[in-house]
Structure 1
Amino acid sequence: MHRLTLASAGFLIALAVPAFAADSITDVPMTAPGFDWTGYYAGLQGGYGWGQSDITATEGAPFAVSPDLDGGFIGGHVAGLWQFDQAVIGAQAELNYSTIDGTDQLGLGNSFGTDIKWFGSLDAKAGFAMDRVLVYGVGGVAFAGIETSQNAPTTFAKTRTNVGWTVGAGIDYAMTNNIVVGAQYRYYDFGSEHYDAPDAFPDRDQKLDLNTFSVRFSYKF
C-alpha cells in the first residue's frame, strides 16, 4: 500500500509539473511588437533648394544664360504606407511654397531671372523598416510654377507650369506611435518649357534642375 501511495503521488507530480510550467510560461510578458508603419500620414516639411536654370533664345540674336538658383521652401504632405514584414511601400503627395530664385547678367543692364514660385510631386515610396527607423527611396511625377523674367531695360515676366520627374531618399524616425520626424534629399528635373515673350523681348526656352534637402514632421493617424 505504501509503495502504491508513493507511486500515485509521483504520477500526480509528473502530471502537475508540465502543467505548472505551461502556466508559468504564459505568465511571462511577451516582447512588445515593433513599430508598425502601416497607416495614413499628414505633415509639414521645410528646407533649402539649389540648382540651375538654362535660358536660350529661340528667335532673334542667339543668347544663353544660366542663373544659379537657391532659396528656401515650406509645404505640406500626405501619405499612405503599408508594411509587410520589414518592407514598406506606399504613395505620397506634397506641395511647397518656394522662394528659390536666381539671376544672371547678359551685358550691362540686361538681367535674366528664374523664380520657382511653387513645386510639388506625386510619388511612390518604398523602404526598409528597422523597428522605429525607416530608410526609403521615393520618386514620381513633379510639377512647378516657374517664372522667367528679363530686365532690358523694361521688365518682362511670365510664369508657366512645368512637368518633370523627381527621385530621392530619406530616413524617418517614429518618436511616438503618432509622431514621425525625418530628413529627405530630392532631385527634380522639370524639363524645358517654351516661353513666348512680348515684342520687345526674345522668345526663349528655359530648362531647370533642382536639388532640395528638407526636414519633415508627420502625424500618423
Structure 2
Amino acid sequence: MTILKSTLLAAAATVAIASAAQAADPIMPMPVTPVAPVVDPVFDWSGFYAGVRVGGLNDTVDTDWLVGGELGVNAQWDMFVLGAEVAVDAVFGDPDTYAYGEVTARGGVAFSEVLLYGTVGYGTDFDAPAASGVGNQVLAGVGVEFAVSDSISVDGRYVYGWGIDAGDSDIHKFTIGANFHF
C-alpha cells in the first residue's frame, strides 16, 4: 500500500474507534443553574438624618403639646444599629411656651425596613421659669422607626424622664416624626 492509503486507513480506523467509545458514554444533561430570587434591598440605617416631630410632654400636673426638630447619626453592623441624636422642641405649656432640648444615644435591631430601639440621654428645659418648665431629666425610652422610602422614615417613641434636682419634674414624652436620611 501506498503511504496515502495507509494514512487514510489509519485515520478512518481512529474515527471509528473514537465514535464507538463516545457512543458507549451516557449523555449527561448540563446542570441547571438556579436563578437567584430578586430581593428588595434592605434599608441602610447608617448615616446622618434630620427630621421634624410632634407630640406631647406630661409632667405630674399638665400635658403640653410640642413641635420640634432633630439631628442624628446612625451606624449599622449587620442587623445592629447604634446612634446619637440632638433634638430641640417648642413646648406649648401653661402659662408659657418654653424650649426643651435633649441629647440621646440609641441602640437597636433592624429588621429590613423596621428599626426597634432603646434610647437613653439627658433632657433640659434650658432653665425655663419654674412656673412653666420641667427642669432637667435623665431620659430612657423605646421607639420604632419605619423606612417608607430610600431616604425617608417615620419614627414613634416614648421616653420617661427622671427629675435630677429638687423641683425638677418626672416626665412622660411621646413623639411621632419623620426623618430624611442623607
CA shift for structure 1 position 192:
2.7
Give TM-score scaled by structure 2 length: 0.78
Q: Runs in 1 of length 4+ with deviation above 6 angstroms?
A: none
RMSD: 2.8
CA shift for structure 1 position 164:
2.9
In structure 2, what is the equivalent of residue 5 of structure 1? Answer: 19
- Code of the residue aligned with 1:17 in structure 2: it is M
Q: Aligned equivalents of 1:51 and 1:6: distance in 2?
A: 94
Give unpaired runs (5+ residues) of structure 2: 1-14
In structure 2, what is the equivalent of residue 212 of structure 1? Answer: 173
Structure (1/2) with the larger strand percentage: 1
Percent identity, aligned pairs only, is 25
Q: Which shifted more, 211-220 or 31-40?
A: 31-40
How far does the alpha carbon of each residue in 1:26-73 deviate from its partner, in whole angstroms, 9 at most, with x for none? x64553442221121100011111112xxxxxxxxxxxxxxx121100
How many residues in Structure 1 have an aligned counterpart in Structure 2?
Answer: 167
CA shift for structure 1 position 216:
0.9
How far does the alpha carbon of each residue in 1:75-125 deviate from its partner, in whole angstroms, 9 at most, with x for none? 0001111111111111111000111337xxxxxxxxxxxx56111111111
1:135-174 maps to which residues of 2 (within 5 A)?
A: 135-145=116-126, 146-149=128-131, 162-174=135-147
Which of 62, 68, 72 is equivalent to 1:69? Answer: 62
> 3-state DSSP class of the match of 1:5?
helix
Which of 118, 121, 132 is equivalent to 2:99? Answer: 118
Taking structure 1 as reference, are residues 190 and 28 closer, same or farther at Cα in structure 2, changes over 3 Å only? same
Give TM-score scaled by structure 1 length: 0.65
> 3-state DSSP class of the match of 1:208?
coil
- Relative contact order, higher structure (CA 8 A, sep 6+): 1
Give unpaired runs (5+ residues) of structure 1: 53-67, 103-114, 150-158, 194-205
> 3-state DSSP class of the match of 1:117?
strand
